[in-house]
Amino acid sequence: MPPLVSIENVDMRYGGPEGTLAVSNLNLTVAKGEFAAVVGPSGCGKSTLMKLVTGLHIPQKGNVIVAEKQVTEPVSIVGMAFQNPTMLPWRTTLENILLPLEIVERHRKRLRAHKKEYIGQAERLLEIVGLKGFGSKYPWQLSGGMQQRANLCRALIHEPELLMLDEPFGALDAFTREELWCVIRDLHAAQGVTIVLVTHDLREAVFLADKIFVMSARPGRVLAEHRVPFERPRQIDLTYDTAFNDMVHGLHAEIANARVAA
């Protein structure tokens, strides 16, 4: 089966021919159903990679292929969640979760015809992420962690095949972050969705991913690809195991080297 995501020899430069070369000769593939993590020094092009896959940027060189189609415009099978959830304060949490359906033309007609089903789907997602009954609250009535959970529901409401997470838990405290790792773990297991997670938290990458791409300093390219050997389902206890911490240390050393090489 061809990969769901394929980046082939991609260069992306911002600001014209003399501008910043963000990624160069970038290559990676993610199989359907796989959980991939991307780690690397700050400014190495991780968010650029996310924008290339979602079609928010089109590269000057190389190919980005998602679901066997060359990406030339924003990709509709993708759900996205970023570090700072941007919920509309005048809408309830449930109305915020339904927002993507109102924006994407294809879904808009279906939303009108099947509003009840979509509300049911939003409520199921709220339950999965531990926010059962919070749909009628406004975002400003929720804690940061709760907003981030709702943000995940919003990314998933149109049942995307591919979920792109760009440092989604960076702003949260350690306990809340670990709770959300388990939410994401369970979503991945239950829904079979393909996930690409950008994170600077190496423990997060090792806990969640099937494979980890280590990027070089800018211009970013993939320096190494590691399989994560730990069995699923993984429990938080795993993060105290020697083998787990050895892998985290190994990644840390690679990234430290990548920064020095820059």
CA dist 186 and 26 (Å) reads 30
Tokens of 238: 């795993």
In the complex, least distance from residue 119 CB atom to Mg ion, rounded to whole angstroms: 33
In the complex, least distance from residue 82 CB atom to Mg ion, rounded to whole angstroms: 9
Phi, psi of 176 (to 5 degrees): -60, -40
* Residue count, binding to ligand ADP (CB under 6 A): 12
Residues numbered 27 to 86 that lie near ligand ADP (CB under 6 A) are 42-48
In the complex, least distance from residue 196 CB atom to Mg ion, rounded to whole angstroms: 13
CA dist 126 and 97 (Å) reads 9
CA dist 71 and 58 (Å) reads 7
Candidate ranges 13-21, 102-110, 123-131, 148-156; the one touching ligand ADP (CB under 6 A): 13-21
CB atoms within 10 A of CB 156: 22
Options 47, 96, 151, 199; binder of Mg ion; rule CB under 5 A:
47
CB-nearer residue toward ligand ADP: 46 or 107:
46
Round the CA-based radius of gyration of the chain to a whole number and report it.
18
Partner from Mg ion, ligand ADP, none contacting 100, C-beta within 5 to 8 A by type: none
Phi, psi of 114 (to 5 degrees): -130, 40
Q: Point out which residues bind ligand ADP (CB under 6 A).
A: 14-15, 20, 22, 42-48, 218
Binding footprint of Mg ion on the chain (CB under 5 A): 46-47
